[in-house]
Amino acid sequence: MSEPLDSAAKAILHGNDKGGYTVPTAGLYPYQWNWDSMFAAWGFSTFDIPRAWEEVETLFTGQWPSGMVPHILFHRPDPGYFPGPDVWGCDGPVPSSGISQPPVAATFIRKIWEQDPEAGRAHIERLVPQLADWHRWFMAWRTDRGAVFITHPWEAGRDNAPDWDNAMARIDPVGVGEYQRRDTAHVDASMRPTKEDYDRYIWLVQRGRRLGWDDAKMAEDPPFRVADPGMTFILLRANRDLEALAAEVGHPTDEIADWTRVLEDGAETLWNEELGCYDSRDAVHGGWGESLSNASFLCWYGGVDRPEMLRQLDRVMSKARYGVASYDPDGAKFDSKRYWRGPIWGIMNTLIGLGLSQCGHEEQARRVKATTRALIEDHGFAEYFDPLNGAPAGGGRFTWTAAIWLAWAG
Ligand code: 2M8
C-alpha cells in the first residue's frame, strides 16, 4: 500500500463517478460500461461498500427482459462518444447497446458481499436471480459446443485483438455509409483500431438494429461468431461464484452446476494443439484465431489448469517488463501500442493473477501482481501500457486501473 497512490486512485474513482455509476474515463468513454463498472464496484468496496452496491445495482437496471445485460448503458446523452444510443436503436429499460460484455459481475459481487455479508444480503437476494437470468441468456444464445462465442468484437471487451482478424476479414461492410469516429479525437489514432475495423464494427451494429436485436433472428446466418477463451473462462468462473451465492440465498443451484459442466467441456474445444494454448475458434466456418493472448491465460481464473500454459506464461512474461502482454510478443501481429494487439492491461493481469493464486501457482501469481504494482507506480493509472517500456497509452485517469490498484495490486 502506498498512501499517495491510494489517494490518487480514490480521487480517480470519485472524479469518474457520475452519481450511481462510474465512467471508465472522462471524454473518451462517457457512459457506464459493463465490466469496467464491476471493477469500479470492487475498487469502491475497499473504502465504501454502499457505493460499491450502488454501482452494481445501477448496472442491473439496464438488464433486458431476455436476461442480457448490455455492454454500455447510455444514462445521459453525450455527443463525445460514437456510436451512441441513436445508432444502436435499442429499447431496453435504459438506453443501451445491443450486445453484452465479459460477465465478471458474479465474481465481483461475491467479493463485495464477502466483505460484509450482513449488509450485502439484501443485495445478493435481489441480484442472484438477475445474474442467473443473464448467465442463462449466455448459455442459450452465446454458446457453441459449450464455449462462449461473441457476435461482435466489442462483446469480448478485446476490441481489435488478432483473435478476430480471420473472421472479420470475411465481412464485407457494404453500405455502412459515412460516420464520424470520436475516439481518435481523444487519443492518438495509432493506439486505436483501424478504419477497416470500425467499418465492420458499425456494420455489425447496423445489422443488429435492422433485426431489432432479436436473438433468434440474429442467430440466422450469422456473419460473425467467434468462440473466445476470455468469455468462456470468465463465464465459467462467474458461474462457480454464482453457484456459491445462490446456495447462500436458497436459490436453486442445479441448473447453474449444469452450466459449469457444459462450459468446462466447452473450454477444451478451445485448445489449439498446434499453437499449444487456448485460442479463439470461428464458430461459423471453423478454424483458429491463431492467437496466444492474455485471454488464453484466464484458464486458471476459470479453474482450468494446464502445464503447457504455465510454460507459455513464463515465456510471454520474460518478453515484457510489466506483466502479461495482450498478444504474444513473439507473434507476427504483435504491436506494442495498438490497444488489444500487444499492450498490457492491468485488469487482465489482475484476473490472471487471481486465477494463478486460486490454482496454487503462488510464485507466478506473485510475479504478475508485483509487475502490475510496479507498472502503476512507475507509469500511473492509464487505460493500458506498452509492454516493452511501460509507456502509458489510451485514456488517462482510468477507473479500472485505479480500482485494481485499490483492490489487488497496491
Ligand atoms: C473499449 O471498448 C469500447 C467499446 O466497447 C471502445 O473502444 O469504444 C474496450 O477496451 C472495452 O473492453 C472497455 O470496456 C471499454 C471501456 O473501457 O473500452
CA neighbor of 171 nearest in space, from 134, 199, 145: 199
Per-residue pLDDT at 2: 80
Determine the Cα–Cα distance for residues 43 and 52; give it in Å rounded to an integer: 8
Place of cell 503447457: 308
Q: For the chain, how are helix, strand and coil distributed in percent, rounded to 5? A: 50, 10, 40
* Most ligand 1 atoms within 8 A of CB, residue of 22, 33, 194 to mutate: 33
Q: How many Å lie between the centroid of ligand 1 and the Cα of residue 159?
A: 7
* ipTM of predicted complex: 0.99
Determine the Cα–Cα distance for residues 21 and 68; give it in Å rounded to an integer: 19
Name the residue range of residue 205's domain. 3-409
Q: Is 17 an annotated catalytic residue? A: no
Q: Is 274 an annotated catalytic residue? A: no
Alpha helices by DSSP H, listed for 270-336, are: 307-319
Of 36, 55, 159, 386, catalytic: 159
CATH code for the domain in which residue 35 is found: 1.50.10.10
Amino acid at 320: A
Per-residue pLDDT at 33: 98
CA neighbor of 133 nearest in space, from 72, 62, 196: 62
The finding on whether 157 has its CB within 6 A of some atom of ligand 1 is yes
Per-residue pLDDT at 293: 98
pLDDT truncated to tens, each residue of the chain (410 aa)? 688 999 999 999 999 999 999 999 999 999 999 999 999 999 999 999 999 999 999 999 999 999 999 999 999 999 999 999 999 999 999 999 999 999 999 999 999 999 999 999 999 999 999 999 999 999 999 999 999 999 999 999 999 999 999 999 999 999 999 999 999 999 999 999 999 999 999 999 999 999 999 999 999 999 999 999 999 999 999 999 999 999 999 999 999 999 999 999 999 999 999 999 999 999 999 999 999 999 999 999 999 999 999 999 999 999 999 989 999 999 999 999 999 999 999 999 999 999 999 999 999 999 999 999 999 999 999 999 999 999 999 999 999 999 999 999 99
What total of structural domains would you count in the chain?
A: 1
* Most ligand 1 atoms within 8 A of CB, residue of 159, 164, 298 to mutate: 159
User: How many Cβ atoms sit within 10 Å of the Cβ of residue 183?
Assistant: 19
The finding on whether 198 has its CB within 6 A of some atom of ligand 1 is no
Per-residue pLDDT at 1: 60
The finding on whether 159 has its CB within 6 A of some atom of ligand 1 is yes
